[in-house]
Amino acid sequence: MSLNVLVVDDSAVTRAVILKTLSMAGLDLGQTHQAANGRLGLEVLEKEWIDLILVDINMPVMNGEEMIAAVRENPLWADIPIIVVSTEGSVTRIDRLQSNGVTFVHKPFTPEAICNVVQGLTEVTQ
């Protein structure tokens, strides 16, 4: 099954690196979408079927924590796997995010870290 992926990060370079990492890992990617903040990410979710979200925390307009809360509150989106890709170092905030059912990948990340987490969440094999 191909994965429709949404990458939300205010850095276009980071979005490109994440998508390139997923592509080079041999994952069966379907449509890929990008957004520069949580608000724009929610707009993508309203229009597109998304199987997996990768999201940063510190972003302008709407941060990742706010976006994750909105996703989890919407019955249509509540079960979408979410991976937080962030420099976040506060164990308090990371614990809060993980209690909301998200997986955390720390920046700077290795391609293997992203791929292992995605494969674990989606049960996709290379």
Partner 1 sequence: MQPCRETLARIAEDTFASLAFMFPVEPQEAPPSAAPPVIASVAFHGPWRGWLEMSLPPEMMAPLAANILGADDPADTDVEKQVDALKEVLNVICGNLLPVIDSPQSEYTVAAPLMQKADLAGPDAAATETSICLDSGTVQLRLLLAAA
Of 3 and 59, which CB lies nearer to partner 1 in the complex structure?
Answer: 59
- 11 vs 31 by CB, closer to partner 1: 11
Write down the least CB distance from residue 118 to partner 1, Å. Answer: 18
Query: What does the DSSP 8-state code read for residue 80?
Result: S
Phi first, then psi: give them for residue 54, nearest 5 degrees.
Answer: -115, 125
Looking at the Cβ atoms of 2 and 11, the one nearer to partner 1 is: 11
Q: Which of 54, 17, 21, 49 is nearest to 35 (CA)?
A: 54
Interacting residue ranges for partner 1, rule: CB under 8 A: 10-14, 16-17, 20, 58-60, 63, 86-93, 107-108, 110
Cβ 90 to partner 1 shortest distance, Å: 5
Is the alpha carbon torsion for 55, 87, 123, 98 positive or negative?
negative
The minimum distance between CB 8 and partner 1, in angstroms, equals: 14
Largest distance between two CA atoms of the chain: 36
